[in-house]
Every structure is written in structure tokens, then in C-alpha cells.
Structure 1
Amino acid sequence: MSSTPSAPSPAPRSPETEFPPTLREVMLRGRWIGMLLLCLVVAGVFAWLGQWQLGRAIDTSPPPPGATEKVLPLDQVVKPGEYLDAALVGQRTQASGSWIPGDFLIVSSRFNDGAEGYWVTGQLRISGTAKPTSLAVAVGWAADEAAAKAAVQRLEKTADGSVVTVKGRLISDEGPVAPPKDQPTRMDRMSPAALLGFWHDTAGLDVYRPFLASTAALGGLDAISSPAPEEHSSVNWLNIFYAVEWAIFAGFAFYLWYRLAKDAWEREVEEFEERRSVADPDPGAL
């Protein structure tokens, strides 16, 4: 019984008839197509972040020139517990209320036209509010601590519950810092949050986060130097810089994909050259 002859095996291809893959062929493989899609997603996120940052860089409704010099009621500028908008820092404001006895406190490291000294601060209990609400007020500057303490004694005599109106510039909380160990009551920052820890009658109290630097000195103190703030530009260049950074990151995602694919292609070409050199050794080396 004769068997059917099997088909002859194909002759091995000569190294001269084989070619290494092209860079395009490597990039079109499934692995690298998947990597490209991932890079597209990452670049899309970076592009969105850049667009969002660019939108925040341009203020389409900046405050008009001189807006901070118009005296506004406190409740039209900021609400208790809220942070002060950057465009409103230095806004001239007025508030009415009564001073709380025992809460005239001294803040050190205060500069007035380049001279270092002290501020005397008080708790102004705002009148006409539904619940107790207070505003920290810097009432004046003294060159030395003794003068500041003397002003505190004079101001305590005026804290008789009568309603007063105070005008000044509204400034953001400077943030509390830990006092020296040997001076636990010392304060070097004007911070309503720090003052609150020393105030009296604070149960259920609402407090304004910014403070008021009075333009009229009280208690025989010197007036606090508080010039008008610089006009705000409608363009925030820092945000524009961040937007450019996000665009660079998006471009780098594609460059990284290209570089990784090219590295893989170069490795395949090197391996191909090594296989060909083994299969077809140099006759001159024999």
C-alpha cells in the first residue's frame, strides 16, 4: 500500500531576502496602538487642565480703578467666616458695633512707615446682627510696648457698650504662629483666629476671617499706615505659565510614545543584524 508523498518543506529563506521591520510597521502593532490611545487620553486631560488654567488667567470683569477707595458697609464686602476675595484686599470698609471690655490686645512686630512697633487691637461686636458677630480691629500703632499698654488702659475706659462706627481697610488674616515658650501670650501676626483664643464672651460667636485696620487712631495711638493697594491686572501671568506647562506635558506624552516605539524598533533591528551575522558569517573570517 503506497503512501501519499508529503509536501516538500519550504526552503529556508536566505538572510539576503529578509528585511528588518520599519519604524512604521512597529508603530502600527496592537501594543503600540494601545499605547497611543492611552497617550491620547493623558494628553486630553492635560489639554483640559491647560484650558481651565488659561480661563482663570484672564479676569473678564476686573474691579474698576479706585474701587477699593470707596467706603462700603462691611456686610457688602464679606460675610462672617468667609475668606476675603483677593480683589477686595485693602477695600475701605466701615462697621458699627461696641467694644468688648478686656479684649484690647497687643500684636508685636508691626511696621509703620518702616519703623517697628506694636498694634493695639480690639474686638468690635457688630450691631444689628441676628447672632453675636465680631470683627477684629487694629485701632492704632505705638512705637514701644509701654505706650501700647498705656493705650490699652485708655481704651478699656471707652468700652462701655456704646455703639461706635469704625472705618478702615479690610485685610486678610495673616495666619497664627506659635508664640515663644517664655511668652505664651505674645502675638507677632495679626490673626483673628489667634485673637479669638484670648477674647471673652465667645459662646456661639460668628467671627469675620479678615480684620480691619482702622484709618483713624484711637486711644492716643498713631494712625496705622495703610496706603491704597496696587491696581489689579486683568491678566494673571502665573496662571498663563501653568497653562503653557500643561500644553508642554501634553506634547511630552506623544513624544514619550514615539521614543518608546523607536527604542523597540531599534532593538529589533539590532537583533535582526545579529541573527543575520550568525546565519551568514563573514567569509573573510574563515
Structure 2
Amino acid sequence: MIKLLAWRFWGGHVAVVLAVIAAGGLGLWQLHAWREHRAEAARDLTDARPVALASVMGGDSAFPGKSIGQPVRLSGSWLSSGTVYVKGREHGGRSGYWVVSPLLVDGTRSAMPVVRGWSTRPQAPSVSGAAAVTGWLQPGDGDGLVDEDRHDDVVPELAIPDLVNRVDTDLYSGYVIARDEPAAARTTLAAVGPQSTPGVSWSTGLRNLFYAVEWWVFGGFAVAVWVRWLRDELNPPVPEELREEAVAER
């Protein structure tokens, strides 16, 4: 033990201690980043302040997964055709229909499907003209349910690709659940709340977790190398020639 305190070893001791502290600190930093990424992915935006739709996504952009449930503001004109009724939607313990109408967004060539409300039957007052909508941004359904009758306005799910064939313009890659239905239909449609909040994938932030483990392994490796070097210095191996001479003398 006293030999380990020899001055010639102190430089190495200090270097290894600093390396272990640095590796441990960097590992903790990456672990914190991993937790932050997962917390960011799981945050519930449904009560956040509404933002302009254009600041979140465009008509031709992919759906922004981090913005699920984000309240957005948009304005435009209701299309005269394209309203559908999504069946099998629960409200107050009863099964009914979502009423979904496309809104051609101002300044774009794309329409946003807007869930206007819930109805017990596949019918609702029509809407037309200019409108301003505030609601929750949601991703389209993707369960692959088959529409058994493509000639009516009832659909099994709110899948954006299936709605494209029902309108004469492009559609956004998601939809908006309106907070308020136009005045003409407030007495016939029930309000619908946000349906989806972000889920956290097992791979979210995984690279940061790997980096954390990598730094800790590096710290352990530095200690192992230093211990091995000290052992060889304090107990140097006997050369083969000296071993043979010692055996011969015996």
C-alpha cells in the first residue's frame, strides 16, 4: 500500500481520478438528456395556449408527432362537399358519429378535416362560408378498418388517405377537433374533446442512454488499465532467462 503512494505514481493517480470524475459526470449528463427527451415526448399539450396552425405544420408536411393535442388556430372556408360521419365513436356511454367537415385553410391549397362534434345519427346541419376554428391537432387514424360502403358518407375511421378521394383538394396529414361548433349546430352536436396525447416510444432518447453507458464503461476501463499497470510496476514479471538460471542453481 505504501508503494502506491510513491511520488512517481501520483501523476497517474490524479489523471485516473479526473478521468473517472469526467466520465461519471458526462454519463449523468447524457442520462439527464435521455430523461428530458422522454419527458418532452410525453408532455400533454391539450391545455396549452393555441398557436397558429402554420407555425406547427403546412399542408404538405408530415404530421408533427411532438404536437399531438396542441391547440391550433386556423381560418378558411368550408368546402361544400366532403363531410363524413365517423361511426363507432363513444360519447357519454353511447355510440354515435363524429361529424367531420373539410376547411380549406387560408393561404394554402390544402383542407383541414375538422371534427365539428358528435351526433347520435349520421346527419348534421351543413356549414358554408368563411370560418375561424380553434381546436386540438390530432393524427389520422391508421387501424386499417375497411369501409364496406364507399358510396355513403359513413366511414369506419378518420383515415386521411381515405378522405382524399372525397374532396377536390389536398388534405393536411392530420385533423383538428374543434372546441366550438358553429352556432347553427350547437344545439344538435355534442362537443368532442381531444382524443390523443403523445405516447413515448421505447427508442425515444435511446442514443443518449447509450452514450451514458458508454461514458461509464470508459471510466471503468480507465480504472482497470491503471490497476493493471500498477500491478505490473509493483510486481514486475520475472524474465524467462532469470527463471531458468534460478532453476539451474537449485
SS in 2 for 1:59: helix
Q: CA deviation at 1:178?
A: 1.9
Instruction: Flag as ranges the 4+ runs of structure 1 deviating above 6 A.
Output: 63-66, 240-245
Q: Percent identity among equivalent residues?
A: 19
Q: CA deviation at 1:212?
A: 0.5
Q: Report if aligned partners of 1:57, 1:239 keep a CA contact under 8 Å in 2.
A: no
Count of residue pairs brought into register by the alignment: 175
Q: Report if aligned partners of 1:73, 1:94 keep a CA contact under 8 Å in 2.
A: yes
Match of 1:165 in 2: 132
Q: Which amino acid aligns with 1:216?
A: D
Q: Report if aligned partners of 2:37, 2:204 keep a CA contact under 8 Å in 1.
A: no
Q: CA deviation at 1:169?
A: 0.4
Match of 1:92 in 2: 71
Normalized per residue, the structure richer in strand is 2
Q: CA deviation at 1:189?
A: 0.7
Q: Report if aligned partners of 1:83, 1:172 keep a CA contact under 8 Å in 2.
A: no
Q: State TM-score, norm by structure 1.
A: 0.51
Q: From 16, 36, 56, give the equivalent of 1:77.
A: 56
Distance 1:215 1:238, change over 3 A: same
Distance 1:213 1:79, change over 3 A: same
1:89-128 → structure 2 map (5 Å cutoff): 89-128=68-107
Alignment deviations for residues 109-134 of structure 1 (CA, whole Å, 9 cap, x no partner): 112244321011111011123xx221
Distance 1:82 1:240, change over 3 A: closer
RMSD: 3.8
| Unaligned 5+ runs, structure 1 | 1-54, 248-286
2:176 maps to 1:212: yes
Distance 1:114 1:88, change over 3 A: farther
Alignment deviations for residues 33-59 of structure 1 (CA, whole Å, 9 cap, x no partner): xxxxxxxxxxxxxxxxxxxxxx87751
SS in 2 for 1:224: coil
Q: Report if aligned partners of 2:89, 2:97 keep a CA contact under 8 Å in 1.
A: yes
Match of 1:239 in 2: 203
Alignment deviations for residues 215-255 of structure 1 (CA, whole Å, 9 cap, x no partner): 1134231111327847x7xxx5723897899x9xxxxxxxx
Match of 2:189 in 1: 221
2:104 maps to 1:137: no
Alignment deviations for residues 82-105 of structure 1 (CA, whole Å, 9 cap, x no partner): 232322101001110011112222
2:160 maps to 1:192: yes
Q: Report if aligned partners of 1:112, 1:225 keep a CA contact under 8 Å in 2.
A: no
| Unaligned 5+ runs, structure 2 | 1-32, 214-250
Q: Report if aligned partners of 1:98, 1:126 keep a CA contact under 8 Å in 2.
A: yes
SS in 2 for 1:87: helix
Q: CA deviation at 1:211?
A: 0.3
SS in 2 for 1:62: helix
SS in 1 for 2:155: coil
Distance 1:227 1:197, change over 3 A: closer
Query: How many angstroms apart in 2 are the aligned matches of 1:210 and 1:117?
Result: 21
Query: How many angstroms apart in 1 are the aligned matches of 2:190 and 2:155?
Result: 20
Q: Which amino acid aligns with 1:92?
A: P
Match of 2:141 in 1: 174
Distance 1:242 1:117, change over 3 A: same
Q: State TM-score, norm by structure 2.
A: 0.58
Q: Report if aligned partners of 2:83, 2:101 keep a CA contact under 8 Å in 1.
A: yes
Query: How many angstroms apart in 2 are the aligned matches of 1:240 and 1:88?
Result: 15
CA radius of gyration, larger in: 1
Q: Report if aligned partners of 1:57, 1:240 keep a CA contact under 8 Å in 2.
A: no
